[in-house]
Amino acid sequence: MESAEVARRFLKFYEERGHTVVPSASLIAEDPTLLLVNAGMVPFKPYFLGQRTPPSQRMTSAQKCVRTPDIEEVGKTTRHATFFQMLGNFSIGDYFKEQAIPFAWDLLTRSEADGGFGFPEERLWATVYTDDDEAQDIWHKKVGVPLDRIQRRGMEDNFWSMGVPGPCGPCSEIYYDRGPEYGREGGPVADEDRYLEVWNLVFMQFERGPGEGKDDFPILGDLPSKNIDTGMGLERMAAILQGVDNIYETDTLWKVLDRAAGLTGTGYGRDQRDDVSLRVVADHVRSGTMMVADGIRPGNEGRGYVLRRILRRSIRNLRLLGGEEAGLMHELTSVAVRAMGEQYPELIRTADSIHAVIDAEEESFLQTLRTGTAIFDTAVAETRRSGGSALPGDQAFKLHDTYGFPIDLTLEMASEAGLEVDEAGFRRLMAEQRDRAKRDAREKKTGNLDVSVLDEMLGRADGRVEFIGYKDVLGEARLAGLLVGGASVQAAGEGAEVEVVLDRTPFYAEGGGQLADQGLIRLGSGAVIEVDDVQSPLAGLIVHRGRVRSGEAQVGDTAYAEIDVDRRRAISRSHTATHMVHAGFRRALGEGAAQAGSENSPGRFRFDFTASGAVPVSVLRDVEDEVNDVLINDLDVRAFHTSIDEARAMGALALFGEKYGDEVRVVEVGDYSRELCGGTHVARSGQLGLIKVLGESSIGAGVRRVEALVGIDAFRFLARENVLVSQLAEQMKVRKEELPERISGVVTRLRDAEKELDRLRSQQILAVAGSLADGARDVNGVAFVGHRAPDGTGADDLRKLAVDVRGRLTSRPAVVMVAGVPKDRPVVVVAVTEGARERGLKAGALVGLAAKALGGGGGGKDDLAQGGGANAGALGDALAAVERAVGAA
């Protein structure tokens, strides 16, 4: 039974029993405490906590999840994986144990012909919490499981909570006996390799208090309603139903693994090291594909860092398997898209965009591996020169953080060089970086608020703040919540920095690329709050950040919210312009040019999109012309709500990384553009006036950025450009249209003159080579030349002079040292003849002595080396140090 069929049967079974099928949420978690959705119940957490009203009291889903704490173990075992799918059924205050347990038993044991999974009853075991007599009675008396196949376990194994105060409850887990060939008798408590957990039924009925670990917390009491949360791992279930030993041999993962083996000329099951790499590639390619499809882009922090690490581990392990050429990730991504496409059709629709991101990351990392190797070699040389036996942790961290060099590669190459790596120092620096990234991400999203305060504010606003800003720019409201320094207060006086929650507001919270509104909140008491930022740290919650300009703000007061209308209009023009530019680029470059981010600010916007390379200037101009032609037609801009399915049917674009409910808002610009969007827009395209594209650039692997101006800002830019061109034309004494040719000619002549000056300067410097060779002094049988060149002499000329002088002294042992100060920092070059090298004199070692005197470093080959430092006044000391070393040879 293929994985897609396992999911289909599960969802159909529960749908037939009154459950609403909820589509998988994005891997991008709404919960600000999570980077990624890591459990099937995460999207349902607001319902369990009472923060939102569920669409149904009975729900079921197949949820995408990513967990990476054990990423280093992926591949080493057949149990660990980063991406997995969790099947679950949920009851919010509806049924409880007496129905949840029989439901699970029925689905597992029902024949495949009748829509079940066909498990033999005698091979299923159950565990219950140590004092959960009710669950045991249901298993035994209602379902019919013998008592000797029901085992009791403690809080460590059979009690669930989110790890923080909130809902919790006992579990009942279902295990499948794989047979005596997998381990010893005795049920799950004896051997969890033989008895494989397939389903966990969580009975949420208590509220827990604070505490550490899985069992060190108090139970505060009963929840207002009892809930059911179950989780069945799709991959593990597929392994059992497909008769394979582990998840890597199931259909979706095996397709990627088998293709990776074919592309690299290896085979699974032949070599343990190759098997590890093949499993890493299979898991990580699938994970990376799913993350990119949900709008995550490779980066150096947060989710982007997780994705980059996953993709680069894939590429690294492909190289270990012998696959060093570019394009392997493209092929494997195609396999992953086809393997998962039946369950997630959006993968097929967005395949071009997924490829653009992953292909670019592969190309970037292959280049990183080439350049990183050279940097690694330098770090090894420095370690050896200092007499160390281990590469310092900060060097390993720099290789990883700055150059993207994987730590496992650093460890392997260091071992080959006979060195260890200070892993403890590296891990410490990595942990500090991760903590900073998490803190920065959390603070950007939630400001000074912690999650418990956010929950409280949401409750004060009756579960959701009403946004009235699509139609109104001012409105009456109630001040529902007030915070100072992240703490809830009842009042705040003049000058206080505050965060304000209203029950309804015209202020648009930053989101979807659109900057937040600014404006004033006038209170019935006469107090005035100046708002400079608006955020939505939790779904349904809008937080106004600003300062009490006068009076005292009090919770419960009547509020009159008024936005800065001119700013809103300018931002709305930018937002509509972004939609139109997006449409223009998709027409010019194809559907692979998918939006990957944007920022809409007053008069200016930037638009990020996926592309495999730079966009030609001609395309930029064509898109600009096309969009401005559309503006002239003054098309109607219309926003309306419809179902997500209907929006897709009409071709509305759903953007990567955005979350959409069953009902969505569609924004149309005539027939030119149609996107799902929650932002504010103009009424007609003609209100944009003019769009001016400033240029495009790369902002990361597979992502380009276009920046543009709109409206009066675009007009003012063009006016300034015209004045500048007029001034240049007047100075050059030509017509405007002749400027490019005239300036090109001037630049060419200037470059030619600079080259001639460089040639004459080099000739002048090299002219002294003969006299320097003739004046070589005998130092212990070695001809020694120590010369300080005039200040300003370039490093290349210093090198040429040293080589020239050495060439005139090849008949005898000779050491030539040339020093100078090209740009405020001293440089030394040492050239050594073969005769001097035979006496043990090496250029690299001599340069090291000179550079040390200068307070710097250097290196090179035995015959020619270069170094430098910071103390130009010590050049004489550097020359003397080299001469002493020659004399001692």
> What sections of 202-323 are H helices per DSSP?
234-241, 251-264, 272-293, 302-320
Handedness of CA 685, 689, 693, 698 (dihedral sign): negative
Enumerate residues 6+ apart whose C-beta is below 8 A from 341: 347, 348
> What sections of 504-652 are H helices per DSSP?
565-589, 617-632, 644-649
Enumerate residues 6+ apart whose C-beta is below 8 A from 517: 469, 506, 507, 508, 531, 534, 563, 564, 567, 568, 571
The Cα 409–Cα 400 span in angstroms is 10
- At 236 the three-state DSSP class reads helix
Handedness of CA 344, 349, 355, 358 (dihedral sign): negative
Residue 575 known to bind ligand: yes
Residue 171 known to bind ligand: no
Residue 284 known to bind ligand: no
Instruction: List the Cα angle 111/117/120 in 5-degree steps.
Output: 70
Q: Rounded to the nearest 10 degrees, what angle do helices 739-766 and 712-732 cross at?
A: 60
The Cα 626–Cα 630 span in angstroms is 6
Residue 677 known to bind ligand: yes
Burial class (CB in 10 A: 0-12, 13-18, 19+), 428: middle
Beta pairing, strands 814-820 & 782-788? parallel
Using alpha carbons, select from 563, 568, 585, 581 the residue that is nearest to residue 681: 568
Write b or e for each residue in 309-344: b if 16 or more Cβ atoms lie within 10 A of its Cβ, otherwise e: bbbbbbbbbbbbbebeeeebbeebbbbbbebbebbb
Give kind and range of the element (H or E) at residue 395.
helix 393-401
Q: Are 692 and 573 in contact (CB under 8 A)?
A: no
- At 304 the three-state DSSP class reads helix
3-state DSSP helix/strand/coil % of the chain, to nearest 5: 45, 25, 30
Using alpha carbons, select from 559, 463, 446, 555 the residue that is nearest to residue 509: 446
Tokens describing residue 746: 């001037």
Question: For the residues of 735-761, what is the DSSP string, one character each?
Answer: -GGGHHHHHHHHHHHHHHHHHHHHHHH
Enumerate residues 6+ apart whose C-beta is below 8 A from 536: 509, 510, 511, 542, 543
Q: Which residues are annotated as a binding site?
A: 575, 579, 677, 681
Q: Which residues are annotated as a binding site for Zn(2+)?
A: 575, 579, 677, 681
